[in-house]
Amino acid sequence: MPHHCGFDFKLGFIVMMIKKSAAFAAALVSASVVCAHEDAPAPRADSHAPIGVMADHMHKEGEWMFSYRYMHMAMDGNRDGDERLTPAETRAAGPFMVAPLNMDMEMHMLGAMYAPSDNVTFMVMVPYIELTMDHETGMGGRFTTETSGIGDVRLAALLPLYDYDGGKMHTTLAISVPTGSIDELGNTPMGNVQLPYPMQLGSGTYDFRPGITWSKLNDGWSWGAQTTATIRLGGENDRDYRLGNALDAQTWAAWNPSSAISVSGRLQWQAWQNVEGADPALNPMVVPTADPNRRAGRRTDLHVGVNWLSDGGHRVALEYGVPVQQDLEGPQLEVDSIATIGYQYAF
Ligand SMILES: [Cu+2]
């Protein structure tokens, strides 16, 4: 009997050791999986910025990421400076024959990221844009113009500047390629004519978009900040104009009650200049959107968002924002809301 017990004990011990080493092996495997991911030591929903932020993170060597975003910006009513204008006041400001009433901007954006090494992450973003604008003439007639198609494709390299103890900084060097059409026509009371600047799908110029991003993961929460410039390269585009340069600065904070969910707040400030030159096919006396000197503005938006991270590198995120300040060299249509939904898969 004692012998039997000893034998049982030995067998039990061996089984226990096998179980332990299996657990140890499993721990090693999961540790190496975690180490291979960009979010070492453990994946967190807030290791990516709110979904409205682009080029916010780098990847580790050999990692890929594919993403899809749907963005909707709703613009309703006109504004000059920070004063709201009725359609009649908008026409009187020129005077113009036509006032824009509202505009919907929808964008489907496909993105890919790949890191050939820890020292560079490449990114490509391809937008598909759908624009709709409603107008009112001085006689009270209404009409709608619509355009859709591929926008300007963006190519970027993200380069690390700093990575220590959850704090990271990288620079983004991006070029926007003029793949979007600037020859979009639409049916108006004046016939099938060239549409004004905000209804075109691209800039018509190569644009340099340098940026810097900071982020810091803390226990249970994180923050980040990013600033990006848009600099139109070369001279005018094929239609004898160039869109204004732009500057963007933003900061966000995210709270994660669990590693799978984070809730964020984000404040974004943007400023952009007027159009230089002019499309000779556009008459600025007709509608304010055709006037190159009524395009500039500054705006601050406040966004709230949610990121959800599942096992296997799938992320789903939502963000919704409204302007808290808007100053336009108008009359110009004012922004009322910005909504973004996105899906990201990293492996
Ligand atoms: Cu990524």
Ramachandran region, residue 191 (left: φ > 0; alpha: ψ -120 to 50; beta: rest):
left
Q: pTM for the complete prediction?
A: 0.86
**Which residues contact residue 153 at a Cβ distance below 8 angstroms, ignoring those fewer than 6 apart?**
124, 125, 126, 127, 176, 177, 179
Rounded to the nearest angstrom, the distance between the alpha carbon of 65 and the centre of ligand 1 is 5
Rounded to the nearest angstrom, the distance between the alpha carbon of 330 and the centre of ligand 1 is 38
Rounded Cα–Cα distance for residues 203 and 183 (Å): 11
The CATH homologous superfamily of the domain defined by 37-346: Autotransporter beta-domain (2.40.128.130)
| pLDDT above 90 for 179 | yes
In tens, the pLDDT along 225-278 reads 999 999 999 889 999 999 999 999 999 999 999 999 999 999 999 999 999 999
Rounded to the nearest angstrom, the distance between the alpha carbon of 32 and the centre of ligand 1 is 19
Whether cis (ω within 30° of 0) applies to the bond prior to 127 is no
Phi, psi of 43 (to 5 degrees): -65, 140
Rounded to the nearest angstrom, the distance between the alpha carbon of 127 and the centre of ligand 1 is 17
Please choose, from the candidates 248, 264, 270, 242, the residue with its C-alpha nearest in 3D space to the C-alpha of residue 315. Answer: 264
Q: What is the mean pLDDT of residues 25-51?
A: 61
| pLDDT above 80 for 52 | yes
Please tell me the predicted confidence (pLDDT) of residue 43: 84
Please choose, from the candidates 108, 47, 74, 54, the residue with its C-alpha nearest in 3D space to the C-alpha of residue 248. Answer: 54
Neighbour-count burial of 177, counting CB atoms closer than 10 A to its CB (0-12 exposed, 13-18 middle, 19+ buried): middle
Give buried/exposed letters for 53-82 (b at 16+ CB in 10 A, else e): bbbbbbbbeebebebebebebbbebbbbee
Rounded to the nearest angstrom, the distance between the alpha carbon of 256 and the centre of ligand 1 is 19
Structure-token pair, residue 194: 């060239």
Rounded to the nearest angstrom, the distance between the alpha carbon of 310 and the centre of ligand 1 is 15
Whether cis (ω within 30° of 0) applies to the bond prior to 198 is no
Rounded to the nearest angstrom, the distance between the alpha carbon of 301 and the centre of ligand 1 is 24
- End-to-end CA, the chain: 56
Mean of all residue pLDDT scores within the chain: 90
Structure-token pair, residue 42: 């453990």
β-pairing verdict for 276-277 and 191-194: unpaired
Please tell me the predicted confidence (pLDDT) of residue 5: 38
Please tell me the predicted confidence (pLDDT) of residue 27: 44
Q: What is the mean pLDDT of residues 68-85?
A: 97
In tens, the pLDDT along 184-231 reads 999 999 999 999 999 999 999 999 999 999 999 999 999 999 999 999
The pLDDT-based confidence of 41 (bands split at 50, 70, 90) is low
Rounded to the nearest angstrom, the distance between the alpha carbon of 344 and the centre of ligand 1 is 7
In tens, the pLDDT along 97-132 reads 999 999 999 999 999 999 999 999 999 999 999 999
Neighbour-count burial of 35, counting CB atoms closer than 10 A to its CB (0-12 exposed, 13-18 middle, 19+ buried): exposed
In tens, the pLDDT along 267-323 reads 999 999 999 999 999 999 999 999 999 999 999 999 999 999 998 889 999 999 999
Please choose, from the candidates 283, 226, 303, 253, the residue with its C-alpha nearest in 3D space to the C-alpha of residue 56. Answer: 226
Cβ count within 10 A of residue 252 = 24
Please tell me the predicted confidence (pLDDT) of residue 234: 86
Judge contact between 252 and 38, C-beta under 8 A: no
Give buried/exposed letters for 286-319 (b at 16+ CB in 10 A, else e): bbbbbbbebbbbebbbebebbbebeeebebebbb
Rounded to the nearest angstrom, the distance between the alpha carbon of 292 and the centre of ligand 1 is 37
